[in-house]
Chain A
Amino acid sequence: MQKILVTVFLLIGCCFLINPVSAQSIDTRTYSDSAAYDTMLDEIVVTGTRSPKILKNSPVITKVFTENEIRKVDVTHIGELLQSELPGIEFTYSMNQQVSLNMQGFGGNSVLFLVDGERIAGETLENIDYSRLNLDNVQRIEIIKGAASSLYGSNAVGGVVNIISKIPVEPLHVNFNTRLATNNEQRHGGSISINTGRLSSATNVQYVSAGDLKMKNEGVYSKVYGNRTLNVKERLQYNLGDNFKLTGRGGYFFRERDSQVSSKDRYRSFNGGAKGEYAFHQKSNLELAYSFDQYDKSSFLVEDRLDVRNYSNVQHNLKGLYNYSFDSKNILTVGGDYMRDYLMSYQFKDNASYLQHVADIFAQYDWTPTKKLNIISGLRYDYFSDADISHVSPKIGLMFKQGRFNFRSSYAGGFRAPTLKEMYMSFDMASVFMIYGNRDLKAESSHNFSLSGEYTSQYYNFSLTGYHNIVDNRITTIWNTELKGMQYMNIAKINITGIDANASVRLPSGIGARLSYAFTHEKIEKGQPLLSQTRPHAATARIEYGKTWRKYGFNIALNGRLLSKLTTYEYTSLTSYEEMEEVTYPGYTIWKLSLMQTFRQGINLIVGIDNLFNYVPDYYYSNSPYTTGTTFSAGVSIDISRF
């Protein structure tokens, strides 16, 4: 904790020591496109309101990762990207070395991940397959913390992460990129996009692999399994006129994990979709979309050379969205969705399959009565056929502007309906115990209250957000004495309270710095099956310097993650919730230094040193970083069409 505070003060000091006035004398031709001078407040965002809004005018606090930021952070996995900037987000390993998310007290199934607004099928231990979220050809990533079920329905209990694909703007753009890192980590990719005015196409292929990584000390896992991932995506857009746009997309994903000598875990996805967008006139537009996503798991039995599927989740989605602007001050958004959700799983008795239908309608009103005030309110009704559950999710948000200050406050409801897995599971857990589903589960629900203040000047941005979540009926597995096994059950109310603080500076001289801090407090009554696993304090920091000339540019950045220790209680037995013992998971910091150089605006060279100070855990807990020390990486990205 001390380390975090010291770093916080040092970086805040840095922010003030950097004198913006002296930067005024810099030649504008140099700094105007400086890598560090890309203020994002004029970015268009859509996730918070489902209609385009300039970030600084959005009544919903939205964190944006731009394409440039994604490139500079130079990571492959979306978890590394989110962790690099957002304190309080932790990707760890759960059982069977599956990746698990904790976002300030909310797990993977309480944070809704979307790609261009579409849901992602499949899960393992309550988390989607994050490897599917290929960061190539991404325009930006928008993140909303807090409940958002009034627009997105189930799973948007703790937040929404929306990955927005890049739309081709150049007539022809060809890119090849490759990256090598310690431990035989490899990433190779390429994309071709064309834009003829009416027609555009973007094709992307990415291959990622890593070898087995043996840990240096004892721990929950002695090695990280090697794996290979192939990701292919195609997006095609056809403008039938000035007011009608048709988009088609398709994708394929394959991942193989060397979990056992005799068998390999395989994961596949086939996905596609079609969307039509029609603008009736300047005031209104209609969007109709269909999407399909299939996520399969199979075991490849090495001896018999057999690839046997044991899991398939198939989701068909139909979506309608209509926006109407009465004038510049009043926008009405209405919509509805239908989803057919099919699940076959090895975790059901005799590999059975189940089906459910989900339907919803929603409406939102965005009202700007004065230049200083914006009020947004929404309501959504969701229905789940198999559980026969319906849920109403409200939202009201208010933004008040005063000079360089923005103040926002909101209340939003969130919920998560029980999944088919949670209702029908009947799974023999390694012959140790059974895990049973429960058809009587209620939906999880949350009430999110937040209050924030933001100060923005030409070079500085400060924000402070406080929030409180009341989460009821959270679903988890509990030991059932009668069944002599675990069973999915709802548990009592949990309160999650926190503060997010952020300070950043971006100067024309090319210097930039950012410091973000998150405090999270989970209040869970003793005797509840779940106990807090969230670190109370976390911070991220970044300091960078960059310049761009006509034929050359560079950006050097130091990124840090600082996580406090976690002292919590754990039950001494998994079959009783009476006796507990105190456990402490150590805090740690990880720093990364990277240098990006751009030649002739078409060649990007990035070299990086990760885990700069060679942190190696004494014992590898599930929530420890699975690192063996300092690693090195080097990558090159070539935009051939720029030459």
Chain B
Amino acid sequence: MKPVILFIRLIMPGILFLSFPACNGILGNIYDEPLAEEKNEFGFIETDEVNNSGTVYIDATSYTRWTYIDFHALTVDSLEISEDMREPEHWDIAIHRYDVKTNGASVLETGFTGLSTLKASGEIPKGDYVSDEWTTNKIVVDMSGMMDGKLKYAESYYNRELSKWLFVDTSTMPPGYNPSNKVYIIRLKDNTVAAVRLRNFMNASGVKGYMTIDYIYPFEV
């Protein structure tokens, strides 16, 4: 038998066999499952006491909540935005979707794209640290009127520098998401320093608003 004919006769049954796959599809195992544990664990999910570093994972999907992070106590708290909302007694930064405010701190965007390279530099970057500003048109709490150009905002402090960690381009639909991948230095009001980097803004299923933040606190040289 000619090799060509033999080849075809061997291939033909294979193709026919492959033509009768499972009812609801084939090769599902080539895909990954979302990391289940990431869905439910929030807060300081990793801490390294030796290096003063770790990872915070928060659910910031809601437009109507602030999530407060306290680097001193390694705690996270979340509150519904309202006129009579009382902020926690101790906190350092707070996150609403991708917006950030600080508790009397100032922030500098660095050129570093990793905490390890920042640490290796052996110094706290110098520059124009930016404090919070009072805003009336940054913190969107109701998106339902967006189609008519009528968004509802909450008045709030807002840190323009730290909020650069994720640029959301709303000129297209759906919006484009461009993380800066940079390290930000936060001078807290007690003059201690934290370094943070937004590692991810989605959960393992790709849902946006789940923020994974790597940090060093206190950052000392």
Contact = CB atoms under 8 A, between A and B. Distances in A.
Given A199-B8, A308-B206, A430-B173, A298 B147 contact: no
Given A236-B12, A262-B202, A432-B143, A314 B2 contact: no
Interface core residue of B32, B144, B174, B206 (most chain A CB under 10 Å): B206
B120 interface: no
Nearest to B2: A196
Contact of B23 (A196, A309, A316): A316
Interface core residue of B2, B19, B20, B35 (most chain A CB under 10 Å): B19
A574 B146 CA distance: 10
B148 A573 contact: yes
Interface string A546-590: 000000000000000000000000000111000000000000000
B32 A308 contact: yes
Contacts of A294: 21, 25-26
A273 B206 contact: no
B8 A236 contact: yes
B61 to A, nearest CB: 8
A290 B143 contact: no
Interface core residue of A222, A248, A342 (most chain B CB under 10 Å): A248
Given A96-B174, A292-B19, A303-B200, 20 more contacts: A95-B173, A97-B172, A199-B9, A222-B171, A234-B15, A236-B15, A248-B15, A249-B15, A262-B177, A262-B202, A301-B204, A304-B204, A306-B35, A308-B204, A309-B28, A314-B24, A314-B25, A316-B23, A432-B147, A574-B148
A304 B25 contact: no
B31 A353 contact: no
B122 interface: no
Contacts of B178: 260-261
A200 to B, nearest CB: 8
A263 interface: yes
Interface of A: 95-97, 194, 196, 199, 201, 220-222, 234, 236, 238, 248-250, 260-263, 270, 272-274, 290-292, 294, 296, 298-299, 301, 303-304, 306-310, 312, 314, 316, 340, 342, 344, 353, 429-433, 479, 484, 573-575
Contacts of A270: 21, 25-27
Contacts of A303: 199-200, 212
Given A262-B202, A312-B25, A340-B23, A430 B175 contact: yes
A353 B146 CA distance: 30
B200 A342 contact: no
A274 B176 contact: no
B173 A96 contact: yes
A201 B175 contact: no
Nearest to A343: B24
Contacts of A222: 169, 171-172
Contacts of A316: 23
Interface core residue of B7, B15, B33, B63 (most chain A CB under 10 Å): B15
Given A262-B177, A306-B35, A342-B24, A250 B18 contact: yes
Given A249-B15, A433-B144, A314 B23 contact: yes
A310 B203 CA distance: 14
A299 B24 CA distance: 20
A92 to B, nearest CB: 15
B104 interface: no
Contacts of B33: 308
A196 B4 contact: yes
B35 A272 contact: no
A294 B61 CA distance: 32
A481 B30 CA distance: 42
B143 A238 contact: no
The 8 A-B pairs of least Cβ separation, nearest first, read: A248-B15, A272-B19, A574-B147, A299-B206, A309-B31, A306-B32, A314-B25, A430-B174
A220 B31 contact: no
B58 to A, nearest CB: 16
Looking at chain A's contact residues, the main secondary structure is strand
Nearest to A220: B172
B52 interface: no
Given A194-B4, A342-B24, A248 B206 contact: no
Nearest to A238: B12
25 contacts: A97-B172, A196-B8, A199-B9, A201-B8, A221-B172, A222-B171, A222-B172, A234-B11, A234-B15, A238-B12, A262-B179, A262-B202, A270-B26, A272-B21, A292-B19, A294-B26, A296-B25, A301-B206, A306-B32, A306-B35, A353-B24, A432-B144, A433-B144, A484-B144, A575-B148
Contacts of A301: 200, 202, 204, 206
Contacts of B179: 261-262
B203 to A, nearest CB: 9
Contacts of A272: 15, 18-19, 21
Interface core residue of A201, A262, A353, A573 (most chain B CB under 10 Å): A262
Interface core residue of A298, A304, A314 (most chain B CB under 10 Å): A304
Contacts of A234: 11, 15
B16 interface: yes
Contacts of A344: 24
Contacts of B35: 304, 306
B2 A308 contact: no
Contacts of A306: 32, 34-35, 204
B85 interface: no
A145 B85 CA distance: 62
Interface string B63-74: 100000000000
B215 interface: no
B221 interface: no
A97 B19 CA distance: 33
Contacts of A262: 177, 179, 200-202
A317 B178 CA distance: 42
